């Protein structure tokens, strides 16, 4: 099997955890490193969660040091969404692994080794990637593409226009989107097409797998949030896992190529401005995911649980 070299840049996070489980269940992905970044919860949690998760899943890849803060603005997180420690209050067993190097250096090394085949999957703010491209601009032609969970075609979840990951560090998004590296944006509202109902979340629980305790806890955490939500917010989207699903099988979604910029300041910071008619005449720099297949995504989760079966 010809494996695809990938780096997963992440801020675990309950949905990041499911995403990493999904990626690890597919041997065609050669995961070269996990590069944590601050985001869903402060860096002390995201980095430790990444380190412990790699041990828990018996993954054979390094976990690096990463960016503790956004490039230029104050760090803000979504602890209220992800619960205590980022995993809904679940505490993974301690790991004997240690952090190896820094995200930007490892990305550079792996890009050179992969000679144009490296894919970077980002599940959190783009701070590590922006630092990489600023420090080592010469590797831009060696990155096959960057697939981001972030942004939105239309509406946001932090402000009326801004999605959380891009809102946390819009300056990093601006650097990455202007870099010339091929980009796929798996945004908030496009991934929401592949939602799960409360009953579907419950149906995934209770399987006899190696990840049962952690997986079932995360499902229970998501179910609790959805059951407590208003009637128009009962559906759960596992955004980061859908992004991984797209990497694994592009037929799970549809994309359109557009010119996309991001607002970096003011009340609209983090807003991804999609120039659908290209009135400004800018380069078409981003493949924008416009839709994701709910049934295919559910099937992928079922296959993932089969992979981890005892």
The stretch 208-213 carries a mean pLDDT of 97
Nearest residue to 274 (alpha-carbon basis) of 264, 287, 260, 288 = 260
CB of 188 closer than 8 Å to CB of 163: yes
157 alpha carbon, distance to own chain's centre? 16
E strand intervals along the chain: 4-10, 29-36, 118-122, 143-149, 183-186, 253-262, 272-275, 286-292
Residue 80 has pLDDT above 80, yes or no: no
Return the HEC string of 229-258: CCHHHCCECCHHHHHHHHHHCHHHEEEEEE
Q: Is there a domain that residue 230 lies in?
A: no
pTM, two decimals, is 0.96
How many domains does one find in the chain?
1
Q: What whole-number percentage of the chain has pLDDT above 90?
A: 91
pLDDT of res. 229:
81
pLDDT of res. 32:
98
Distance between CA atoms of residues 19 and 232, nearest Å? 25
Q: Is there a domain that residue 200 lies in?
A: no
Residue 169 has pLDDT above 80, yes or no: yes
Q: Is there a domain that residue 102 lies in?
A: yes
What Å distances lie between residue 126 and 8, 9, 130, 248, CA to CA?
A: 12, 8, 6, 21
Residue 49 structural domain: 4-191+238-307
What CATH number is attached to the domain comprising 97?
3.90.245.10
Q: Is there a domain that residue 54 lies in?
A: yes
The stretch 235-241 carries a mean pLDDT of 96
At 8-23, the pLDDT tens digits run: 999 999 999 999 999 9
What Å distances lie between residue 244 and 5, 147, 179, 227, CA to CA?
A: 14, 9, 22, 26
Instruction: Of 38-52, 159-173, 226-240, 267-281, give the lowest mean pLDDT range.
Output: 226-240
Distance between CA atoms of residues 114 and 102, nearest Å? 18
At 22-79, the pLDDT tens digits run: 999 999 999 999 999 999 899 999 999 999 999 999 999 999 999 999 999 988 876 6
pLDDT of res. 79:
67
Q: Is there a domain that residue 217 lies in?
A: no
The stretch 195-220 carries a mean pLDDT of 96
Q: Is there a domain that residue 213 lies in?
A: no
Distance between CA atoms of residues 198 and 133, nearest Å? 41
Q: Is there a domain that residue 232 lies in?
A: no
Cβ-count burial of 225 within 10 angstroms (0-12 exposed, 13-18 middle, 19+ buried)? middle
Mean pLDDT, the chain, as a whole number?
A: 95
Cα distance between the two ends of the chain: 24
Tokens of 101: 């190097």
3-state SS class at 21: helix
Question: Which position has the higher pLDDT, 110 or 80?
Answer: 110
CB of 6 closer than 8 Å to CB of 33: no
- At what angle are helices 294-307 and 239-248 packed, to 10 degrees? 90
Q: What whole-number percentage of the chain has pLDDT above 70?
A: 99
pLDDT of res. 84:
80
Q: Is there a domain that residue 301 lies in?
A: yes
């Amino acid at each position: 099997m010809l494996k695809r070299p990938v780096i997963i840049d992440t801020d675990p996070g309950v949905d990041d955890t499911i995403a990493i489980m999904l990626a690890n269940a597919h041997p065609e992905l050669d995961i070269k490193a996990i590069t944590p970044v601050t985001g869903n919860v402060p860096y002390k949690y995201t980095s430790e969660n990444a380190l412990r998760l790699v041990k828990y899943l018996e993954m054979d890849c390094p976990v690096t040091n990463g960016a503790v803060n956004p490039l230029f603005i104050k760090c803000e997180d979504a602890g209220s969404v992800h619960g205590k420690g980022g995993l809904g209050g679940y505490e993974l067993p301690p790991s004997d692994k240690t952090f190896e190097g820094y995200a930007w250096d490892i990305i550079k090394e792996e890009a050179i080794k992969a000679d144009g085949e490296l894919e970077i999957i980002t599940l959190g703010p783009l701070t590590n990637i922006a630092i990489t491209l600023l420090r080592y601009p010469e590797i831009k032609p060696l990155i096959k593409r960057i697939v981001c969970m972030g942004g939105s075609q239309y509406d946001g979840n932090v402000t009326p226009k801004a999605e959380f990951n891009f809102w946390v560090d819009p300056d990093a998004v601006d650097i990455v989107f202007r870099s010339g590296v091929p980009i796929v944006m798996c945004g908030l509202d496009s991934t929401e097409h592949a939602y799960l109902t409360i009953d579907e979340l419950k149906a995934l629980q209770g399987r006899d797998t190696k990840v049962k305790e952690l997986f079932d806890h995360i499902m229970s955490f998501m179910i609790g949030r959805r059951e407590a939500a208003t009637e128009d917010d009962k559906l759960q989207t596992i955004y980061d896992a859908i992004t991984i699903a797209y990497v694994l099988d592009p037929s799970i979604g549809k994309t359109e190529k557009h010119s996309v910029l991001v607002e970096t300041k003011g009340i609209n910071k983090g807003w991804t401005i999609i120039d659908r008619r290209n009135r400004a005449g800018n380069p078409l720099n981003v493949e924008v995911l416009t839709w994701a297949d709910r049934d295919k995504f559910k099937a992928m989760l079922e296959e993932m649980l089969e992979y981890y079966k005892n």
